[in-house]
Each structure stands twice: as C-alpha cells, then as structure tokens.
Amino acid sequence: MKGGEKQCGKVDKLKPIIAIISLQFGYAGMYIITMVSFKHGMNHWVLATYRHVVATIVMAPFALILERKIRPKMTWPLFLRILALGILEPLMDQNFYYIGMKATSATYSSAFVNALPAVTFIMAVIFRLETVNLKKIRSLAKVIGTAITVGGAMVMTLYKGPAIELIKAAHTSIHGGSSSEATDQHWVMGTLALMASIISWAGFFILQSFTLKKYPAELSLVMWICGMGTILNTAASLVMVRDLSAWKIGMDSGTLAAVYSGVVCSGMAYYIQSIVIRERGPVFTTSFSPMCMIITAFLGALVLAEKIHLGSIIGAGLIVFGLYSVVWGKAKDEVISTTEEKIGMQELPITNIISTDGGGIPCEPNKGVTNSI
C-alpha cells in the first residue's frame, strides 16, 4: 500500500514538469508557424487580436460549464486585476516583443526572452513569493541555476560556432535573411521594447500567482484574460493598423497561426501555467522557458532544414544543467516545507485527559494519577 502511495506521489511530482515541457513544444510550434505567417505579410497587431478571439471562443464553454458552481463572484478588485493581466501579457508582452524583434534582430530578441526566468525570480523575491537564504544549499541552487540557464541561452543566441547540418537543405531556409539586415534598425528603441516585453511577461506571472489566491477558478480566469486581451488588442489594432485589408481572413498561414496560437499558446498555455503556478510557483513555471529555444532549434532543423551550430549544442547543455539545478532547489524547498508541517502537527499541545482509577471513578490529573495520552 505504501509502495503504491509513493509511486502516486512521484507521478504527481512529475505532472507539472511534463506539462510545462509539453508547453514548450507548443510554443516552439507557434514560433515556426508565426514566422511563416509574418513572411506572408501578417500584421502582428491583427494576429494578437485574432489569437485571443480564438482563445476566448475555445475556453469560454469549458469555463462556463465546468466551473459554474465554483466560480467566485466577480468584484471590482478582481476585475481590475484581470484588466491588469490583460494589459501585461496579451497586449504589452506579445506586441512589444514583435516590435523589438523588428527593430533589432531575431537573435538579439531571443537572448532577451531567455532572461525571463531571471527577471521572474527577482520579482518573486521582491514580492516574497520566493525565499532566498544564501546560507542554504537549496537557495544557492536556485540562484546559480537561474544564472546558468540564462547563460546557456545567451551562448545559444550569441555564439554560433561551426554549423552541424542534420538534414541537407535542398532549398533556402524560410528564415534565411529574415534578421540579417542591419540598416535603419533602431537598436536602442528595440532594446527598450524587448525589456518592456520581458518585464511585462514576468509581471504577468507574478500577478497571476496573486490573483489565483483570490480567484481559484483557472478556466474562468483564462476566459477573462483572453476576453480582456481580445478587447485591448482590438482597440490597439484599430489605432495602429489603418489598412483594412490586414484584417482579411483566408485559408492561409495567418489564419493557421491565429488558431494554433489561440488554442495552444493562449488558451491551453494560460490554463496549464495557472495550475503549475498554484502548485509550484511562478519561478518554477518560467524556469523551463529557455527549453523552447532548444526545441525550436531542432524543429527548425527537421521541418525547415535549418543548420544547428555548435554554440546551440553547448548552450543546450548549460540550459539543461541550469534547469536541473533550479528544479532540485524547488524540490528541496517542498521537502523542507512538508517536513516542517509534519513536525508542527506532531508538536501540537497535548491536553490533559481525565483518566479513571480501577473502580471506573474519574480522577483529576493533579491528584496523583498519571496522564494518559
């Protein structure tokens, strides 16, 4: 019986890890599909709008039916938090990232995205969602692991090294020359946009963690965030996009990108992240973000016949090591927390129990009778 309980416990601990890693595959697929749609002229403001329209339509029925009995009542403080969540991720993060990528380069932008775990960790420490005691090995593991993870991602993006061609490309890669042009690029403005993107995304995870404590209905929260993202992106798109033809929908890569990113990377991603944040916290959730770059590199080689460079392999090794360090530190935190709870329960004050003498007559403890526990 105990063996079965231990096995179930191990499976439960693996579930968040498997869910977040699966999510990185989803993000990698979105990256490839979205790049194809941009190549065909898709506007990123319009894509962000359609993405959240799809996510809202898909998630609303599940939220309205499955959580109709447990959905908390909407209040003004909750509404303002949801509004802030909609501003932080669906509006600011997604659009600032594309603005920064267009102003700089794809490589430079990727380097900033992989700073997400570090920024989230710093924010979590500031808002006391994570505790750091540098005298403890587990805290050092989280700090050092975060630094190594970011370092590995930087190696992947800033150091190429010799190319290792997994699949011989018969045609030019779809990404070829997409970010090599350096003329008329506003690097300072692009850097500021990328910084805003990462800070917004990290802030979204932190605020989502606080909001789930007040609104513990994940599907409903996702529905509200996607709905708010639809409204905000529509308003922004109407201002920023004057060409009505950009809103045209057809059987093309733009529609595929909107549907795929809406279902997988907005609807499902927000829901999975909500559950993992509630169980493990925002730092654990974002620690796996750099893995998307590894998956994208290999998917790019297999699907788009791109080359993998030595720097990517070295960076991938560092990222895996850094992630293991962070996960190990978080696991030790959970073990310590569980142990302290058990000790606290064992040390509960014991009340005196009235015992009886041989004749069944109750005797007070202070009259020479030993207390029984």
Kindly report, residue by residue over 171-230, the tens digit of the pLDDT: 444 444 444 444 344 767 877 888 889 899 999 989 998 998 899 898 999 999 999 999
pLDDT of residue 307: 66
Within the chain, strands assigned E span 163-164, 308-309, 355-356, 362-363
Three-state DSSP class for residue 278: helix
Q: What is the DSSP letter of 107?
A: H
Residue 39, pLDDT score:
77
- The residue among 27 and 283 whose pLDDT is bigger is 27
pLDDT over 70 percentage in the chain:
74
> Regarding beta strands 163-164 and 308-309, do their DSSP bridges make them parallel or antiparallel, or are they unpaired?
antiparallel
Phi, psi (5° rounding) for residue 308? -100, 130
Answer for the pair 121, 140: CB distance below 8 angstroms, yes or no. no
Phi/psi at 362 (5° precision): -60, 140
Give the alpha-carbon dihedral of 146, 91, 296, 154, to 10 degrees. -40
CA dihedral 97, 101, 107, 109 (to 10 degrees): -30
- pLDDT of 69 reads 87
Which range of 25-34, 49-58, 65-74, 353-362 scores highest in mean pLDDT? It is 49-58
Q: Name 176's Cβ contacts closer than 8 Å, sequence gap at least 6.
A: none
Mean pLDDT of 244-269: 88
Nearest CA to 67 out of 212, 221, 209, 208 is that of 221
Q: Cα 361–362–363 angle (5° rounding)?
A: 115
Contact 194, 96 (CB under 8 A): yes
pLDDT at 340 over 60: no
Report CA Rg, the chain: 25
Give me the pLDDT at residue 61, please.
Answer: 94
Dihedral in degrees, nearest 10, Cα atoms 55, 44, 234, 54: -20
Of all residues in the chain, what percent carry a pLDDT higher than 90?
24
Residue 181 backbone dihedrals phi, psi, to 5 degrees = -75, 125
As a whole number, mean pLDDT of residues 316-333 equals 78
Helical residues (DSSP H) of 159-261, grouped into ranges: 187-214, 218-240, 253-260
Dist. CA 86–CA 107, nearest whole Å: 27
